[in-house]
Amino acid sequence: MEEQVVNLYDLNVLNRETLHALMTPFIDTDIDHGGCCDLKAKDGKSADDIICFIMEPEKYQIAVDNFPNDPDYPEFNSALSNLWYEITRREWQFW
């Protein structure tokens, strides 16, 4: 899923509907960050960032602008992580 999200985002064809369809096959799977390849889009966003940016652009911007990344883990922003979990739980509960 990570590679598909990043590639479609880089092609500028990813929208809410496409992302929803892309995430559908992963319902009820044990998808987690253990298999993450840390892929980045051309603009530096991770797949998690992209999911948050596409599904909740206003909340994404608030998280990026108002919550600093963890100094011990510079790639980690707890507000973005919480938003990602909120989105995936919400999106997947309707399938």
pLDDT in tens, 2-43: 899 999 999 999 999 999 888 888 776 666 666 678 899 999
**Of residues 62 and 25, more confidently modeled:** 62
CA distance 29 to 40: 23
Q: Which domain holds residue 86?
A: 2-93
| Rg from Cα positions in the chain | 13
72: Cβ–Cβ under 8 A, 6 or more apart, which residues? Answer: none
* Predicted confidence (pLDDT) at residue 95 exceeds the cutoff of 80: no
DSSP string for the chain: -HHHHHHHHHTT---HHHHHHHHGGGTTS---GGG------TTS--HHHHHHHHH-HHHHHHHHHHSPPBTTBTT--HHHHHHHHHHHHHHHHT-
Tally of structural domains, the chain: 1
**Is the CB of residue 46 less than 8 Å from the CB of residue 40?**
yes
**Is the CB of residue 14 less than 8 Å from the CB of residue 5?**
yes
